[in-house]
Each structure stands twice: as C-alpha cells, then as structure tokens.
Chain A
Amino acid sequence: MRAWLYWIAVALLIGAVSHLSYVLIAPSFAMQRLMGGSKEDSQINRFVLLDATEQLRLLGETPTEALSGKCIFDISKGELSVAAEMPHTFWSLTIYSDKGADLYTINDRQAGTDKFKLTVKQAPGVLDLLGGDQSENTRALSDGWSVEIPEPHGIAVFWMALEYPEQRKHFSDILSRSACTLTPT
C-alpha cells in the first residue's frame, strides 16, 4: 500500500512538471518556429518584408488584405534602432519577446506620424539598478521614441492594412525603406 502511494506521488510530481513545461516552456519553442527559427546572423537585426506565405503563417492574412514586415532582433550586445517608414494608412508596430509576450505596440494614430525612429534597448537588471549610472537611461528617454524591454531577443512586426490589392506594390516600396540597425554599446 505504501509503495503504491509512493508511485502515485511520483506520477503526480511528473505530471506537475509536465503541465508547467507545456504551459511555460513549450510556447517559447512554438514562438521560435513562428518567428522563422532563423539563427543566421544575416537575418538578425535586419528588416525584411514578409512574402505571402510567411505573412499568412505569421499573421493569418493574405497579401491582398495586409502588408507586413519583420525584424528579428538580438539586443544583448547593443541597442536596436528601428527606423520605420510607413505609408499613410492604418498601421501598427508590435514588439514581441521570443517567448511570445507583447512588449511594446504603437499604431498610426498613437504615433501621429508615418516616419519615426524607435530605440529599443534592454532594461537594466536588478544588479545594474543597484550599482549602475542612471544618466544613460535619462538621455535615452529624452531622445524621442525609446523603449526598454526586459528580453534581449524577439521580433518586431510591422503591419498595415490594404484598402485594395493594388496598394501592395506602392506600400511595399515605402515600407522597404524601413531599417533595423544594431548599435553596439
């Protein structure tokens, strides 16, 4: 009887670990697949327009419905400068961590402009806050659009609505002028 209780306790413990892994860890791998899973340096910190297949996979929208781009980033060694060039339409820019959390989002009405620069940097850790110099934060925050995010890896998704399919070519030309650039710190 005691042996059975022991094995049931072991099974419940394994079940709890599996449950938490499925909810907390497996979605991170799913997000990696969703981001494209590219670990090549040439694909990191670089803006790319999404083709029809990838847009459908990532956003569930056809090329006649919307236009989108992405920037997979790694800011563990610097700051990311996002220079967004958006056409005059309904657009949004959302930054997700590589675990799928939305960290920052803005749309055309909030931005008030179709051309803006956003600096993305990693938020300081607890040790940095205790011993670090805060002047850098103050400079960054007073320098227009700036956001500090808790995760060094993630994806910025640029999205815009198409009123009619013929807009795609024109909007692609404008959006493709966007850039993601890492500035080492």
Chain B
Amino acid sequence: MRLGSVIKAGGILFFGVMLGVISAQWSIEKTATAMTAGGGPWESWFAGTASIRDPYVNAHYLMFGRLPPALGQELLFEAVHDDDGAALDASCDYVIQGPRISARWWQLALTNEEKNQPPLASFTSPHFIGEPDGTIRVAISRRPKTGNWINPGDLSRFALVLKVRPGSGLNAGASVVTLPRIRRETCS
C-alpha cells in the first residue's frame, strides 16, 4: 500500500471520528428541554416524567461524572448564565432570589463552568436562612455577605447546579417548578 493511501485513510478516519464525537457532544448539550415555569437561565436535561430515559440525557450526566437523577426522586437544574444571558463570572456579585422551593430537601451547588467537577461550595435547605416573607435569597460573591453566601473562590467562570428532592416519589415535572432568578450586581 502506498504511503499516500495510508495518509488519506488515516485522515478520513480522523475526520470521521471527530465528526461523530463533536456531533454527539452537540446533540447531548442540545437535549436540554425542560425549561422551568418562571423562565430564567435554568436548564434541565431530565424532564422528570419520562419512564424511558433518553440516551442523550443519560450521557449528559454520566459523561460529566454524575449519577443521573432518579425518576420521581430528584430534579436537577443547571445554569451557566445569569438572567440577562451573560456567563456567570466569579469576579461579579450575584443575587439568587425567588419564591420558596417546594421540596423536602434541596441543594444549591457552585461548580466549575464545565460542570464536570464535584461542587466547590454548596449549601442545603436545612442550613438555609429564609427571608421573613418566605422567599429565598442567596448571595454569590468573593466578599463576605450577610445571610446565605457562597464564595466562588478562585474560579474565573462558574456554573450553578440546583438539586431538588420533592420527596413525594411522584413524577413531578421539571417544567412546573418555579426557580429563583439569577441577578448580576456589581463586578470588580
């Protein structure tokens, strides 16, 4: 076999593999369908009601090193942008504010932008300090804040993951959950 043919075959193989992997990654990221009731930047790959799991949905969680949420037990929401569509930037202060989350247990976690690392900081509903009117308010900032505060540390950009465990065991749909808004304040 001539060297030229070997190079051509290698190039075709490389191109084909790259085409397949990139199209798969694109398809997985575009599978997020369950937008939340209140709008906002939160996305969910798991609608919470499908008994047969879409393989792209499973791939989204597993390829990022996370167990897929169990049907009827858990909903996972992810945000990499604020309400205005800008990337979440650790040099800025953010306020996450909204109605009380109707669940027996929930966790708000801050992780890297790719969402492939365990949470760098988090807190859960039992440790949460509620507002007098029953709403939730969480500050994200490198500077200490009163009330519920998460420090993004040394990250440049970050993602937020909200894990909600309704606790009923019923198949609550992700699309009916009203989630807090993410508002950017000042940037340093």
Query: A-side interface residues toward B, CB under 8 Å?
Result: 7, 10-24, 26-27, 30-31, 33-34, 56-62, 65-66, 90, 92, 94, 96, 99-102, 105-107, 109-110, 157, 161-164
Contacts and interface: CB of A to CB of B under 8 A. Distances in A.
A92 B70 contact: yes
Interface residues of B, number: 49
A90 B59 CA distance: 28
Contact of A90 (B12, B53, B167): B167
B13 A105 contact: no
B21 A107 contact: no
A10 B16 contact: yes
Given A58-B67, A60-B163, A100 B58 contact: yes
Interface in B131-179: 161, 163, 165, 167-169
B73 A22 contact: no
Query: Mostly helix, strand, loop or mixed at chain A's interface?
Result: helix
A107 B169 contact: yes
Interface stretch (B23-31, B32-40, B81-89, B90-98): B23-31
B124 interface: yes
B122 interface: yes
Q: Which 3 A-B pairs have the closest CB atoms?
A: A18-B20, A14-B16, A15-B19
Query: Mostly helix, strand, loop or mixed at chain B's interface?
Result: mixed
Nearest to A161: B105
Contacts of B17: 14-15, 18
B107 interface: yes
B72 to A, nearest CB: 6
Contact of A65 (B59, B65, B122, B169): B122
A23 B67 contact: no
Nearest to B65: A34
Given A22-B21, A102-B71, A34 B59 contact: no
A161 B126 contact: yes
A21 B20 contact: yes
Given A7-B12, A34-B62, A100 B67 contact: yes
B58 A101 contact: yes
Given A34-B65, A157-B67, A94 B19 contact: no
A158 to B, nearest CB: 12
B55 A24 contact: yes
A99 B63 CA distance: 12
Contacts of A20: 20
Interface string B102-120: 0011010101000000110
B62 A31 contact: yes
A67 B59 CA distance: 26
B63 A27 contact: yes
6 contacts: A18-B24, A23-B24, A65-B123, A96-B68, A102-B70, A161-B105
Contacts of B13: 14
Contacts of B2: none
A15 to B, nearest CB: 4
B114 to A, nearest CB: 14
